[in-house]
């Protein structure tokens, strides 16, 4: 992979800060290089994971609100869910930074 393609591939991962879904999808359809497309898919999946975790937390809160659980259990669910989402989001951001830097450091 040449320098230009490595920079484009690393932008897929760094796009978690400025265009999480849009940039990997655009790069996937615009660039013809298979390695860049592979990195675009990986970055897109890593950008979708936090979104799905938030949706699942909202679903759990709605479901537990409709069921008859105690306020303490509901409070624990909400606080635990927010902590879990925070950890998931932090891991995803760190993973994207590491993958982007690894691609940039392999420039020759």
Q: What is the pLDDT of residues 90-104, one digit of tens each?
A: 999 999 999 999 999
Q: Give the domain extent around 95.
A: 3-105
Dist CA 47 CA 27 (whole Å): 14
Dist CA 76 CA 33 (whole Å): 47
Please tell me the total count of domains within the chain.
1
Half-sphere exposure of residue 6: CA atoms within 13 angstroms, side-chain side: 12
37-64 tens-digit pLDDT: 999 999 999 999 989 999 998 988 888 8
61: left (phi over 0), alpha (psi -120 to 50) or beta: alpha
């Amino acid at each position: 992979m040449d320098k230009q393609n490595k920079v484009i591939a690393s932008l897929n991962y760094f796009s978690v800060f400025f265009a999480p879904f849009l940039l990997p999808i655009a790069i996937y359809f615009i660039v013809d290089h298979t390695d860049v497309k592979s990195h675009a898919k990986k970055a897109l999946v890593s950008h979708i994971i936090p979104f799905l975790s938030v949706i699942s937390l909202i679903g759990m809160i709605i479901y537990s609100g409709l069921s008859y659980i105690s306020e303490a259990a509901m409070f624990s669910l909400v606080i635990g869910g927010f902590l879990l989402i925070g950890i998931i989001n932090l891991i995803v951001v760190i993973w994207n930074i590491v993958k982007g830097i690894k691609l940039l450091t392999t420039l020759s």
